Structure 1
Amino acid sequence: MLHRRRFLALGIATPFGSLAAFGSESAVLGDQTSSGGLETLMSQRGGWDLAVYRRILGAANEPKEGDAIVGVAAADEAERQMARQTLLATRLETIDLHPPFSDALLTMINSAVDPSKQRELSAWTFAQLKAALLSLPEPDLHQLRRGLTSDVIAVVVRLMTNEELIQLGSRLFNPLPGSKIGSRGYMGARIQPNSPTDHPDDIRWQVFDAFAYGVGDILVGTNPVSSEPASVLAVQNCLRDVLQTFELTDVLPHCVLSHIDVQSTVEQQAPGSTALWFQSIAGNDSANQTFDISVEKMRQHAAGRTGRFGLYFETGQGADFTNGHGHGVDMVIFESRKYGFARAL
């Protein structure tokens, strides 16, 4: 019987060769880490070594099966701690100057960062950034994050424990404008009225059922069976009619989670039928091509959303790798870039 991890490993190239099985032939970092940070380490090696760099980034992560298959996971806990110590002593600008993978999406993401704030933070080490994140008051954290790139964020979170991440998350909030959603002490929910036949009656009664429990303040969003524009329009109209009946259209959006091109077509055919537009996004250009989107396409769609409700995204850590677009980079880097993509739009 072919083990799932063995199956995933077949044919996947890594910076250290092709993995024949999970965890095999992964080069051990050993003395390739440095208490002086990546700058010192690469200087000692005589130049920037991309394979070693990617491996140190991956080794600092908590164990992930995908990272191991790509060939960038730590061999053991001692190696993980060595990688983390190296990154803690590394300056933020070093990560920004040496992206582990470059494409048009990264260029877009970095262009959305405040350049003056980024320069102000450039000489900080990750140890300093981590300390600031865990000690500064919330208003200062919001100022700080304006100068942080997606890759810097991806690095610092792997240097924090679960308890530290929870501590940070309990102090930092980004509520939606004009709403309590996302604010301190507030929990919201999406209604997901799906139907195996996209039948409006089935969908409508599921919304009523959710309302009976007092949930559904974030979104009424259906995952459709059919992505044909006519079918998507029928579901859009069903959801909109319910919200209009309860006079909720100004505070609660609806969405049919078809491809964004289909939602655009529906809106063109029936103006006002859509509200929030959905799209799955990935963390690099080639992975986004599997979703039939690009930086330019998403910019065009975002520019056209001028009403109260804009765009809504879903990501999945590891989706880039599992779709064959890991590019030898750990999964946290690309997951962070997905959020940077959304922020830039």
Structure 2
Amino acid sequence: MSSKTLLRTGPLRQGGMSPYGPLEPPGGDDLALPGGFSGRVVARSGQKVAGLTWHAAPDGGACFPDGTGWIYVSNSELPLLGGASALRFRADGSIADAYRILSGTDLNRAGGATPWDSWLSCELGHRGRVFECDPYGARAGRPRLAMGRFKHEAAACDPDRQVVYLTEGESDGCFYRFRPGDWGDLTEGTLEVLCDGGDWKPVPSPAALLKAVRHQIEDARHFDGGEGCHYAGGVCYFTTEGDSGLWAYDAETSTLDRICDGVRAITAAPSGDLYVARQSTEIDLITPDREVTPFLKLGGPSGAELTGLAFAPGGGRLYFSARRGRDDGRTFEVAGPFRA
């Protein structure tokens, strides 16, 4: 089943039976998981991992194939020193390497992966930029200025329509899409904004030298602090921080629906299941038939924010980070019998 069914078959149903069973008591890393699943911390802010000091304030993340192994990339929401780092895993799950892929940028938030295996690291600062980075560490990150200068949060690629959706971290931010001149090359293209009637209109001045991008189109639709963004099965899901909403934009019908509340970050498994990080320290599973059940709960002191949800290639491992403030960050891996 496609995750697209979530949009079209009625309201979500809370408290159903999880496909993995109930949560068991927390283990050594304060993770409560279903039976058969295990969790571990793979990196801690300020501590060495494979010779690299792992960054503070871990935020958005994504996984990339790497031969028989894989790579997990994580942004850092630090002012002026943000950037992004990568962990390289061997086929057995051991860590082979860790390295920086972007440095000297500002407040790097959610970001997003491309189908051509690059990482879009988004700056939340004033007149923020999108940087296209090489998760394999061979090439330096490059700004993609045609994607606009505003408080960038997240990016999600839609290969079917060959556009990139973008969220904006403003209390009256907009929902954008970038249409590159050539799919796979983000150096040039057209930035468009979603308007009240459901149509898309080109932004006159993406560089925003005289007027903020979100104020250039009179009937642009505004959202209360766009955050995470993920495309799956013809639908672009995105979250809004100010009113803690989860939205679904059906790219085929150009319709927008608010699915539920209390969500901060989102990803999708190969099965079509959605995994959503709640405002509390929990990750819920939303099945294609719209059942919502707990999948994970992080214990310990309250107030943690869960970020950077991403599945490794093949869907057998889930990565995410938990952060309290800027300096207390842990990056987790959960392995187990995720359904295909």
Asked if Structure 1 and Structure 2 have the same fold, meaning a TM-score greater than 0.5 normalized by the shorter chain, the answer is no
Q: Provide TM-score, normalisation by structure 1.
A: 0.26
More helix by share: 1
Larger radius of gyration: 1
